[in-house]
Chains A and B, each alone.
Chain A
Amino acid sequence: DAKTTQPNSMESNEEEPVHLPCNHSTISGTDYIHWYRQLPSQGPEYVIHGLTSNVNNRMASLAIAEDRKSSTLILHRATLRDAAVYYCILITGFQKLVFGTGTRLLVSP
């Protein structure tokens, strides 16, 4: 299973942008980069995914480095509801999800 490295925790203030980094230096050409988050007392929730190009959706943006060895999940304006553990996961085809320890995002009012 391809591995990812994320900081254990990050802090942000409400209404400010948040950049959550993920390193995946051993990524293969067929690995998609997925982000999930888990809010307190809930199951994980899909956020976004990408392969090579940057991606945007209603929840976040995903910026992928040109060499694909790192990526950044961008929350444009953090809210208190965004406080969660964010997981960066590499997936090829029908592989199972392998969750690391993720980044715990703390958002202050």
Chain B
Amino acid sequence: KAGVTQTPRYLIKTRGQQVTLSCSPISGHRSVSWYQQTPGQGLQFLFEYFSETQRNKGNFPGRFSGRQFSNSRSEMNVSTLELGDSALYLCASSWVGLAGVETQYFGPGTRLLVL
């Protein structure tokens, strides 16, 4: 099976702009989660989508939003970019194994630089 893919891999934007990142999960996975990774804050959970519905949400401002399509592909959007939004954005898809335990499979990430 193909792994989780994320596009684009690298992105440079300026303050005030908005950006959309895309994630294609592993075939058959219905849950997609997004994470932000920075040197200062580490890996932080943004939100999770399951069957086109947001199931979990982290502590990020409303400028960060996401959605999931019927084919499980997901996008996240960041509006009014700030310098502090520069980070590696990771997407993970998951399936539920035995006893309802989820295993997450991560993509390579999109590295966003805000100037």
Contacts and interface: CB of A to CB of B under 8 A. Distances in A.
Interface of A: 32, 36, 42-46, 49, 51, 87, 91, 93-101
Given A49-B103, A94-B102, A96-B48, A42 B108 contact: yes
B104 interface: yes
Ranked nearest first, the 8 interchain pairs of A and B with the lowest CB-CB distance are: A43-B106, A99-B43, A96-B45, A96-B56, A44-B106, A43-B90, A46-B103, A43-B109
Interface in B73-115: 90, 92, 99-109
Nearest to A96: B45
Nearest to A1: B45
A82 B4 CA distance: 21
B90 A101 contact: no
A98 B44 CA distance: 7
B42 interface: yes
Contacts, number: 53
A26 B106 CA distance: 27
9 contacts: A42-B108, A43-B90, A46-B105, A87-B43, A93-B100, A94-B55, A97-B43, A99-B35, A99-B44
Contacts of B44: 99
Nearest to B3: A43
Contacts of B4: 43
A45 B106 contact: yes
B108 A43 contact: yes
B33 interface: yes
Nearest to B46: A96
* Central interface residue in B43, B90, B101, B103, by most chain A CB within 10 Å: B43
